[in-house]
Chain A
């Protein structure tokens, strides 16, 4: 069975500082990994994904994530946080051996608050 853990319910960071939102996963095979962001009263927006290749993935709005197979992690990072980055962030996984049709499994979300 697939699962995702986001160990922090809340992350607070000062504007201009680097931010990290943590994610670990569990799959039986190799993973497809995703990050989504949700602004208040909105649906989820796709940020970035890891399928294969370079372990460092770059996505929208200056975000990036690093796939670490040995630690089964896929932490989201940004070198310099903006107040507008404040939102709810979800990590998600699918086992590569499942077809692309199957639903993603999501973590419980991490609320990021960037303080001016």
Chain B
């Protein structure tokens, strides 16, 4: 089974702090994605990556950046956290033999005070 882990389940940060959300997958998948989930808005794509050191903007990249230095790890960075970035953040992967199904991590619920 594909395993996707996220570094924290719950995180509380203060406005202006730099925040790192880490996602690690153990299946050698090429493609990784970061979404945020908000009530009534569903899942919105922030950034995705096809390969190491490659990244593409999704639908709502403003205020975020990403890093993919190793194939198994995809980091989401909030350069200066703001209260409107309080949300559930979900990481997902695609790759290997199943090139159509996205597999998700457990999510990180971030609160910015």
Contact = CB atoms under 8 A, between A and B. Distances in A.
Contacts of A45: 104
A52 to B, nearest CB: 11
Interface residues of A, number: 23
Contact of A107 (B42, B45, B92): B42
Interface residues of B, number: 27
A100 B43 contact: no
A100 B94 contact: yes
Interface in B74-92: 90, 92
B100 A103 contact: no
B41 A108 contact: yes
8 contacts: A41-B109, A43-B104, A44-B43, A44-B104, A94-B100, A101-B30, A104-B102, A108-B40
Interface of A: 9, 32, 34, 36, 41-46, 49, 51, 90, 92, 94, 100-101, 103-104, 106-109
Given A44-B104, A49-B101, A104-B102, 8 more contacts: A9-B40, A34-B101, A36-B104, A41-B107, A43-B104, A46-B101, A101-B50, A108-B40
